[in-house]
Amino acid sequence: MGYPDQRFDVNLSILFTELPLLERPAAAAAAGFTAVELWWPWIETPTPPQAELNALKKALDDAGTQLVGLNFYAGQLPGPDRGALSVPGEESDRFRANIEVAADFAASVGCTALNALYGNRVEGADPQVQDALALENLVLAARAADRVGAILLVETLNKPESPLYPLVSAPAAIEVIDKVNAATGLGNAKFLLDLYHLSMSGEDLSQVIKAYAAKTGHVQIADNPGRGAPGTGTLPLERLLDELKDAGYTGRVGLEYKPGDRPSADSFDWLPVSARAAR
């Protein structure tokens, strides 16, 4: 048990950001990792030129890295936005324009998990209208994911850092996931269980793991406080990941932490090199 027994991947949208996007897969590979994940890299557009999609695929292939998770278009992230799919008007339209683009790119690189960030509450918009729009868009996303053999992930964030995001508890995300699965009949909507966000929200992490491991499609970690590497804060991450495994979770664990003042490559000293390659 312990860290060497897990299946880790590196989030290239928060680690190795000192490098241009197309150089990050090789940097992750040089650090010993062969699985990576990404937020939607083109924050300005849901429909980037095919040449840019091809260039990212080539960078992943050349580095020998497998993309195991990709966000749908989510607006300005990092930045003020927390997704687009529940935001009426132009942002919802952008999300819809992105669905097939993201699914097709995932299919081209063998990525089997697509994450759909819910989006913030909008001043003047009826929350019920936003939630109805969200369900419509998540159903479309779940069907597109299913078309390419992928799962759809729905993520909980935390209220202190994302005060306008409505899904700031595990039960809130699970309720949405259950509604999507009921609407599609596909069963491919799953929970993205982020131990950092859940801890920031004050949830009982062991209880969340027991309750929802069976509905979890992906896990992400960072320590708390600080959102740094494991060991920089006080979360018992090694024990919690063991609990997840004991509860039947066999998927990947995304490293979604800030490297601090050091180069990203120097932030993995907590994990033996022999435990970094995908298994």
The span from the CA of 244 to the CA of 238, in Å, is 10
Catalytic residue among 91, 203, 243, 256: 256
Long-range Cβ pairs for the range 241-246 (8 Å, 24+): 241/3, 241/6, 242/1, 242/2, 242/5, 243/206, 243/209, 243/210, 244/193, 244/209, 244/213, 244/216, 244/219, 245/1, 245/5, 245/6
Q: What is the DSSP string of 208-247?
A: HHHHHGGGEEEEEE--TTTS-STTSSS--HHHHHHHHHHT
249: buried, middle or exposed (CB in 10 Å: 19+, 13-18, 0-12)?
Answer: buried
Catalytic residue among 155, 203, 238, 243: 155
Catalytic residue status for 123: no
The span from the CA of 25 to the CA of 37, in Å, is 10
Cβ proximity of 186 and 177 under 8 Å: no
Pairing of strands 8-11, 189-194: unpaired
Cβ proximity of 32 and 270 under 8 Å: no
Cross-strand bridge partners of residue 153? 115, 190
The span from the CA of 187 to the CA of 215, in Å, is 10
The span from the CA of 228 to the CA of 270, in Å, is 12
Catalytic residue status for 238: no
Active site residues: 155, 256
